[in-house]
Chain A
Amino acid sequence: MSSDRQRKAAKIREVMREEGDAVRESAGHHNEMRKDAVARLDDYEDLRDRARAIKEDAIERLPELVDELTDSVEANGGHVYLAEDAADANDYITSVCADADTVVKSKSMTSEEVDVNDALHADGLDVWETDLGELILQVADDSPSHLIGPAMHFTTTEIADLFNDVFDPDEPLETPEELTAFARDLLSEKFAEADVGMTGANFLCADSGSMALVTSEGNARKTVQATDTHIALAGVEKIVPSIEELYPFVELLAKSGTGQDLTSYVTMLSPPVDSPSQGVDGPMTAASADDRDFHLVLLDNGRMDMRDDDHLKETLYCIRCSACSNACANFQHVGGHAFGGETYSGGIGTGWEAGVHGLDSAGEFSDFCTGCSRCTTACPVEIDIPWINEVVRDRVNHQGREEGFDFLVDGLSPDAEPGRLDVEKRLFGNVGLLADAGSATAPLSNLVASFGPARDLMERVTGIDARRDLPEWQRETLQDWFARRGGSTVDEAAASRSAVLYPDVYTDHVQVERGKAAVRVLEALDVHVTIPDLPESGRAPLSQGMIDTADDRASAVYGGLAEHLDAGRDVVVIEPSDLAMFREDYEHFLPDASFERLSENAYEVFEYVYGRLDEGATLDALRAGHERLAYHAHCQQRTLDLAPYTESVLERLGYDLLTTDVECCGMAGSFGYKSEYYELSMDVGEDVREQLSTTDAADRRVVASGTSCLEQLSDLLRKPTRHPIEVVDPRR
């Protein structure tokens, strides 16, 4: 392993050991709760569409909304300061705090982004975080590991040890109840002492100058209520036109984050407010707004540039609910200290870090996003989070490229990427070419590749972990076999339907048997089959951030399919990640009309079989049986909601089916092959291994839709696995 990879692997190992269990328990729990919570909404998708549309409109009209909000806040008697960057925001905030001694704060990631606490401390102020999670971090001098559960990586025992050590209470603290009571008492004193209260803002309403603050502890309310001077620091992207537009967000935010219906307190206020503040002697009387001071600091810090960036722009729609982190298998296992940058973590953290702190911070961790796309169905504002990760990876690949030298190297490379691109990325990105060479020279290529010293060398040069089995290239590819048998046995003119079977790289070169099975199944359902010579879909280069190469592939694949589509042929795809390219990712690469044509006519193989049955075809020709099967659907198979077709067909044929409820096998395309991620990949795979090792599952034949899942399951279970289409193959 190269020293860089070794360093990364060591860091992942350490974070996984120290923080993995705690993060996994919370994030995994919130993810399950989220699924239940949104399932209770009958108009969930509609609410997401509405939330998305409101954000699109607000970001589009942002400059105008900033002006409107400024006027409203000023009309209410408050001040607005538009801060260009972190230093500018901190200068303003410290100037407002010039006469203060103590500042109480409610949780705000934006204040973490600008490190306002450091600036206030430097000015001699006493600053107290009043959200208990943030308080733990403050006391531990640590950084957040999650958007809404910043101290998620701590266990109760660790917090108790920390508090006992730092505060030395009369009775040592032990339980969550005791710790909470202690923190509450400590912070009550701070609330009473404080001169200034700082909050963030979840939403800002341009027309009224109102803000919404969402907390479960009630600390934001106390922060505002207890102090005379209120400073709210918020990113400019938090503005929506009016309070009416808040509804879909209020409905979705807590459900997406923790799975609660609503967070305990959604505070709405148009400061400065006239509620009496604490510390005033005598009976409570209404303070006039004149007694209170309000400063809204609107932070740019790169956001206006993100708005002009076609790809990073979507990040500004994020409402920081954390659903994408909780849904992510890799995040669940390492948390935000590995899967995160200076401030923000998780999949969308890449967009935020690239926008506010720069590519270096984002590039460090964007590789943790495997493009599995599970987060995209969890995001309440429908952000294409994997795409943002791919774009950032692409920019990192191109970073620091010096014109005039690289073209030479580029000329020797088969892809459209710059010469500096990492060998590992280039190798995985060009897997199609590798496969051609592998099959042409098999079995020699397999023999060399499995030879110990060769594997060590390969690991050093390419980053492919020596502990992984390599794909076994087949000498006769699917296309060769199909040509040798003389094409389809079903006459096209007489067939019920005609389809192109997409020869993805693995089916064509490695898992050739599943390709043959698919041909026979389709023909048994009276489908004429064509297998044209088509390039790799672009999935492989895309996952390495090689966007130009992926774009070239998309055009070539479409070019090769266009006349088949014109001839009325359907496109049937075995590999779910390739189908996801055709159905989703090609939107970024093809003209709209081409994208629609292909996406509407491309089907996953079992989806197609199911469709044929719907059209009246019978199952008679397929292989029925009572065999006990364990089925693991691929991540994209789940996101595209395709798994039910496989399940339904297998069950109708009589098979006794157990479907895994563990979502990710950990392999995620090339991710698990990389030496720096091998251990994480195996750790993620542990859940599915456990489920498939129970007494009910252990004797079942394991079937899976995705190539990488099949490889990972064979590694984890030490037994052969196959694609379900082989099970129903009439010739089996």
Chain B
Amino acid sequence: MSTTTTGAFADALAPLNGRVERVPAAEVAETIDAAAVAPAVGVPLDIDGVSLPDSVATDFSADGVESAATGVTPAALGVAEYGSLLLEHAPAGAEPAQLYPSTHVAVLRESDLYPDLESAWSEVAAAFDAGRDDAVLATGSSATADMGELVRGVHGPREVIVVLVEDR
């Protein structure tokens, strides 16, 4: 994966109220800690050598997620040309954590970044064929123009921060 792919990903996210922090695995926890607005909730990340900081609560309830300011979840893949993330709904709690808090921190392995939608889509289709049944391709933050001009943060997050884990 070239760094130009990573650059394209960051460039595509920027106008959508998103930003990318590229760090080695060992620095993921402190990067999340710095990016997350408290109170933060999250689900386990399942990436080698990566853990959540203590400031992120994992035993949250429905009420907890509604009052959290930040949700931290893994992202299954990224689409560099559009700044999109494939967010799966497992493990339990990942979906509400992506959806309710106003800041979403997504942790993505750099090797899961695809250059374009077509190449990423084959992966999405393969995952569904293999039994996945619930995922969202999220591009930037939640937005509406219904009130007369663009407003971010409607029924989903206002801001998206991608922590990109250097893994190659």
Distance (Å) between the CB of A324 and the closest chain B CB?
19
| Interface pair B95/A225, CB less than 8 Å apart | yes
A 624-644 to B, binary, CB cutoff 8 A, 1 in contact else 0 = 000000000000000000000
Distance (Å) between the CB of A189 and the closest chain B CB?
11
Which stretch in B3-11, B26-34, B106-114, B138-146 binds the other chain? B138-146
| Interface pair A216/B143, CB less than 8 Å apart | yes
Contact of A176 among B62, B81, B117, B147 (CB under 8 A): B147
Measured CA separation A332–B115 after assembly (Å): 36
Task: For B124, list chain A residues within 8 Å (CB).
Answer: 243, 268
Task: For A217, list chain B residues within 8 Å (CB).
Answer: 142-144, 154-156
Distance (Å) between the CB of A40 and the closest chain B CB?
9
Task: For B62, list chain A residues within 8 Å (CB).
Answer: 276, 278-281, 284
Measured CA separation A151–B148 after assembly (Å): 10
| Interface pair B155/A130, CB less than 8 Å apart | yes
Measured CA separation A208–B130 after assembly (Å): 10
- How many A residues face the partner with a CB closer than 8 A? 65
| Interface pair A243/B95, CB less than 8 Å apart | no
Measured CA separation A285–B60 after assembly (Å): 10
Measured CA separation A408–B155 after assembly (Å): 64
Task: For B141, list chain A residues within 8 Å (CB).
Answer: 264
Q: Which of B46-99 contact A (CB under 8 A)?
A: 59-63, 65-66, 81-82, 84, 89-96, 99
| Interface pair A246/B60, CB less than 8 Å apart | no
Distance (Å) between the CB of B64 and the closest chain A CB?
9
Tier of interface size on chain B: 35 or more
Indicate whether A615 reaches chain B with its CB closer than 8 angstroms: no
Q: Which of A145-204 contact B (CB under 8 A)?
A: 149, 151, 154-156, 159, 176-177, 179-180, 183-184, 187-188, 192
The residue on B at minimum CB distance from A286 is B92
| Interface pair A159/B143, CB less than 8 Å apart | no
Task: For A130, list chain B residues within 8 Å (CB).
Answer: 155
Indicate whether A275 reaches chain B with its CB closer than 8 angstroms: yes
Indicate whether A274 reaches chain B with its CB closer than 8 angstroms: yes
| Interface pair B135/A268, CB less than 8 Å apart | yes
Measured CA separation A378–B76 after assembly (Å): 33
Task: For A179, list chain B residues within 8 Å (CB).
Answer: 147
| Interface pair B99/A225, CB less than 8 Å apart | yes
With A218-B154, A250-B121, A282-B61 as given contacts, are A133 and B146 in contact (CB-CB < 8 Å)?
yes
| Interface pair B121/A270, CB less than 8 Å apart | no
Task: For A528, list chain B residues within 8 Å (CB).
Answer: none
| Interface pair B156/A210, CB less than 8 Å apart | no
Q: Which of A403-424 contact B (CB under 8 A)?
A: none
Task: For B129, list chain A residues within 8 Å (CB).
Answer: 208, 243
With A151-B146, A243-B128, A268-B137 as given contacts, are A187 and B117 in contact (CB-CB < 8 Å)?
no
Distance (Å) between the CB of B118 and the closest chain A CB?
6
Measured CA separation A284–B44 after assembly (Å): 13
| Interface pair A261/B139, CB less than 8 Å apart | yes
Distance (Å) between the CB of B9 and the closest chain A CB?
13
| Interface pair A221/B99, CB less than 8 Å apart | yes
| Interface pair B96/A176, CB less than 8 Å apart | no
With A261-B82, A283-B61 as given contacts, are A268 and B128 in contact (CB-CB < 8 Å)?
yes
Measured CA separation A159–B148 after assembly (Å): 9
Contact of A218 among B59, B60, B142 (CB under 8 A): B142
| Interface pair B95/A221, CB less than 8 Å apart | yes
| Interface pair B99/A222, CB less than 8 Å apart | yes
| Interface pair A26/B140, CB less than 8 Å apart | no
Task: For A278, list chain B residues within 8 Å (CB).
Answer: 62, 66, 96
Indicate whether B125 reaches chain A with its CB closer than 8 angstroms: yes
| Interface pair A76/B99, CB less than 8 Å apart | no
Indicate whether A547 reaches chain B with its CB closer than 8 angstroms: no
The residue on A at minimum CB distance from B59 is A283
The residue on B at minimum CB distance from A214 is B137
Measured CA separation A154–B134 after assembly (Å): 35
| Interface pair A155/B137, CB less than 8 Å apart | no
Task: For A260, list chain B residues within 8 Å (CB).
Answer: 139
Indicate whether A465 reaches chain B with its CB closer than 8 angstroms: no
Distance (Å) between the CB of A247 and the closest chain B CB?
4
Task: For B99, list chain A residues within 8 Å (CB).
Answer: 218, 221-222, 225
Measured CA separation A263–B60 after assembly (Å): 30
Task: For B135, list chain A residues within 8 Å (CB).
Answer: 267-269
Indicate whether A219 reaches chain B with its CB closer than 8 angstroms: yes
Chain A CB within 10 Å, residue with most, of B84, B121, B149, B155? B155
Distance (Å) between the CB of B135 and the closest chain A CB?
6
| Interface pair B128/A262, CB less than 8 Å apart | no
Indicate whether A54 reaches chain B with its CB closer than 8 angstroms: no
Task: For A554, list chain B residues within 8 Å (CB).
Answer: none
| Interface pair A264/B147, CB less than 8 Å apart | no
Contact of B121 among A149, A176, A246 (CB under 8 A): A246
Task: For A540, list chain B residues within 8 Å (CB).
Answer: none
Indicate whether A89 reaches chain B with its CB closer than 8 angstroms: no
| Interface pair A156/B149, CB less than 8 Å apart | yes
| Interface pair A276/B93, CB less than 8 Å apart | yes
| Interface pair A247/B96, CB less than 8 Å apart | no
20 inter-chain pairs at a CB distance below 8 angstroms, sorted by A residue, are: A76-B133, A132-B147, A132-B154, A156-B147, A159-B148, A176-B147, A180-B147, A183-B147, A208-B128, A210-B133, A217-B142, A218-B142, A222-B156, A261-B12, A262-B84, A264-B139, A265-B139, A266-B139, A283-B93, A285-B92
Q: Which 4 A-B pairs give the minimum distances between C-beta atoms?
A: A218-B156, A156-B148, A284-B93, A176-B147
